[in-house]
A = this chain, B = another copy of it.
Amino acid sequence: MKFKQPVPLTEIASLINAKLVGNNAASATGINEIHVVEEGDLAFVDHPKYYEKCIHSLASFIIINKETDFPQGKALLIVDEPFEAYLKIVNEFMPFNPSMQMQAVSAKVGAGSVVMPNVYLGNNVIVGKNCIIYPNVTILDNCTIGDDVMIQSGTVIGSDAFYYNKKADRDIHYKKMTSCGTVIIENGVEIGANCTIDRGVTGETRIGAGTKMDNLVQIGHDTIVGKNCLFASQVGIAGATKIEDEVILWGQVGVSKTLTIGKGAIVNAQSGVPASLGGGKVYFGSPAIDAKAKMKEFVWINRIPEIWEKLKK
């Protein structure tokens, strides 16, 4: 998430009640998670395991719960609860301010596009040219839809990430990490009915040009889908995963988080993908392996009784 304009670190420090160490004359351009942070941004970290990774990420300014060394030119903002500081910053610079009209005043719809009845377009939603948005679609704040996009009925674009901070000593164990990211749907994408595409937590979820998806498909936060992919019905992809161009996922395939499926891979129906898959191959099974190897497995399983008989002799 970027601020509308750079914000002096001293202002941030004051907001979150932080001890500011380092480059305290600087301004921050935004706040982001480590994996999508850019130079000039804030990032935050509360677990020693990730201190090094965060301090040496592209983040210029680190909200952290311990004073530690850091590269010259950067700054630390030291607080007890970096996660709470994150929530405070997002709440200050991107407050929840939902449009209560079906089409927000700030929403823009391009020439030649048809927005059918009962469609909700939130604040700053942009719909490109020659799109068809079917009835009962919901497109939430700040999402961007390209040209020649079709979105069928009941689909939700820009739902919040399923992303929580857990502390078992709280009465309610899970506290939501506010989603301040967005969804980008590129040109020529077509999305079926009753799909759900979550927004990035701080960054973006992106569906590449020409990708088509069937009904009841789930795309998690921060997932980047390439161009000209095909996702059949009831496919589910978790968060922060990368699907390269021309990948085909058949019906009810499930894909875990933070992995990569290589270009042109084909994953057969009902497979489960727990780890990255190379491009250009066909996969099957849960967990998914090479499809031919999986089919051989079935043959071998069928031969166990024969093996048993032979062994008895």
Residues of A within 8 A of B (CB): 96, 98-102, 114, 116-118, 120, 132, 134-136, 138, 140, 148, 150, 152-156, 159-160, 162, 164, 171-174, 176, 187-188, 190, 192-196, 198, 209-210, 212, 214-216, 218, 220, 228, 230, 232-234, 236, 238, 246, 251-252, 254, 256, 269-270, 272, 274, 286-287, 297-298, 300-305, 307-308, 310-311
Contacts and interface: CB of A to CB of B under 8 A. Distances in A.
Nearest to A298: B287
B246 A238 contact: no
Contacts of A117: 99-102, 120
Given A100-B116, A120-B153, A193-B198, 19 more contacts: A101-B117, A134-B159, A135-B140, A138-B153, A138-B154, A152-B159, A153-B156, A154-B155, A154-B156, A156-B194, A159-B192, A162-B215, A193-B196, A196-B233, A218-B233, A236-B252, A254-B270, A256-B269, A303-B308
A120 B136 contact: yes
Contacts of A98: 114, 116, 132
A303 B234 CA distance: 34
A307 B310 contact: no
